[in-house]
Amino acid sequence: MRLDRLITLGLVQPIHRAVSGPRRAQLPILMYHSISDGAEDAVSPYYRTATRPAVFAQHMALLRAEGYRVVSLQTGLREFRSGSSDNGKTVVLTFDDGLRDFYTSAFPILREHGQTASVFLPTAFIGDQPGHFKGQECMTWSEARELHEAGIEIGSHTVNHPRLYELGFADIRAELANSKAVIEDRLGSAVVSFAYPYAFPVADRSFVRAFGDVVAQTGYRYCVTTALGCVKPGDDAYRLKRLPVNSSDDPALFRAKLEGCYDWLEIPQRAFKRWKLRFLDSGRRSNSFSDSMGASLN
């Protein structure tokens, strides 16, 4: 049995249920990628990004059966910040990479259950004909438009899906601004949500702070990241945490994540990233970061 599941179900969840009392104010934002039968046997369960359609359907049925209301990122955060959804039964579904299997596999299941989602597009891979990202087929603009008209929120996932932490801030700004402009032009609607590609560098506080400024300056209201956990009152809208989900999430673990019982993993995750930044990445960004940060803030 995987260690994170063992600790979550065997230790954290029983303690959480014994001492938490009424549901705490929190908003789970689930992070999906591919909804497909892709095999990932060589990948650790935590890092897998594919969810089999049958498992995804099981997740959606569980949400419906247990009274969860599935809303878009915009709606979920607006209500959460105003306190109007503070019952612990609201959840947001997000899908990164603009993969076509969202349109072909996830969307029909969502419609069946009367649910919605937020989808983030890397615009260089979205075309009038299906493009490909890491060997997987991406949706087309006509499909994205159909999703948008059906109530699916469309957000940005940059233009080229680069590792933003390795870029200067002028290039980061271009990735954010250009992808936003393309989606707005194609769909005729404002884009206010952004999803950070790859691991979010939570340990580099200077980068995180400056990056948040760039996100705000380019016209976004929200930024979801790969930092782990549920959203809590007072969390920064430009570094929102999410909960990774894939085919390894059986009903027990999926339910525990919704309850906030998986959030404990954020502590060792953050500690490891700080160690890595200090001992493995020292000097890697120092010159380019200092120069570009100064330019971005002028």
- Per-residue pLDDT tens over the stretch 91-142: 999 999 999 999 999 999 999 999 999 999 999 999 999 999 999 999 999 9
Percent of all residues in the chain with a pLDDT value above 90, rounded to a whole number: 80
Res. 293 pLDDT band, cuts 50 70 90? very low
Res. 253 pLDDT band, cuts 50 70 90? very high
The answer to whether the CB of 78 falls within 8 A of the CB of 72 is no
Res. 289 pLDDT band, cuts 50 70 90? very low
Q: What confidence score (pLDDT) does residue 87 get? A: 66
Q: What angle do CA 47, 53, 55 make, to 5 degrees?
A: 65
Q: What confidence score (pLDDT) does residue 271 get? A: 85
Task: Tell me which of 31-40, 80-89, 184-193 is least confident.
Answer: 80-89
Residue 156 has pLDDT above 50, yes or no: yes
- Look at residue 124 and tell me if it is in a domain: yes
pLDDT 10s digits, 62-95: 999 999 999 999 999 999 998 876 567 999 999 9
- Look at residue 125 and tell me if it is in a domain: yes
Residue 195 has pLDDT above 80, yes or no: yes
The total of structural domains in the chain comes to: 1
Q: What confidence score (pLDDT) does residue 295 get? A: 33
The answer to whether the CB of 254 falls within 8 A of the CB of 245 is yes
- Look at residue 164 and tell me if it is in a domain: yes
pLDDT 10s digits, 121-130: 999 999 999 9
pLDDT 10s digits, 217-249: 999 999 999 999 999 999 999 999 999 999 999
Query: What does the pLDDT average to over 167-180?
Result: 98
Residue 88 sits in a domain whose CATH number is: 3.20.20.370
Residue with the bigger pLDDT between 201 and 272: it is 201
- Residue 65: is it exposed, middle or buried by C-beta count within 10 angstroms (0-12/13-18/19+)? exposed
Residue 205 has pLDDT above 50, yes or no: yes
Q: What is the DSSP letter of 134?
A: T
- Look at residue 66 and tell me if it is in a domain: yes
Long-range pairs, 65-68, Cβ under 8 A, ≥24: 66/255, 68/258
The answer to whether the CB of 174 falls within 8 A of the CB of 167 is no
The answer to whether the CB of 204 falls within 8 A of the CB of 215 is no
- Residue 193 belongs to domain spanning: 25-296
Q: What confidence score (pLDDT) does residue 82 get? A: 87
- Look at residue 95 and tell me if it is in a domain: yes
- Look at residue 9 and tell me if it is in a domain: no
CA distances from 162 to 86, 124, 167, 266, 284 (A): 36, 11, 8, 24, 17
The whole-model pTM stands at: 0.91
Q: What confidence score (pLDDT) does residue 264 get? A: 96
Res. 284 pLDDT band, cuts 50 70 90? very low
User: Torsions phi, psi of 12, nearest 5?
Assistant: -65, -50
- Look at residue 4 and tell me if it is in a domain: no
Q: What confidence score (pLDDT) does residue 146 get? A: 98
CA distances from 287 to 164, 200, 274, 292 (A): 16, 20, 20, 9
Res. 256 pLDDT band, cuts 50 70 90? very high
Instruction: Calculate helix-pair angle for 205-217, 286-296, nearest 10 degrees.
Output: 30
The answer to whether the CB of 261 falls within 8 A of the CB of 13 is yes
Res. 292 pLDDT band, cuts 50 70 90? very low
Residue 194 has pLDDT above 50, yes or no: yes
- Alpha carbons 73 and 62: distance in angstroms, whole number: 20
- Look at residue 17 and tell me if it is in a domain: no
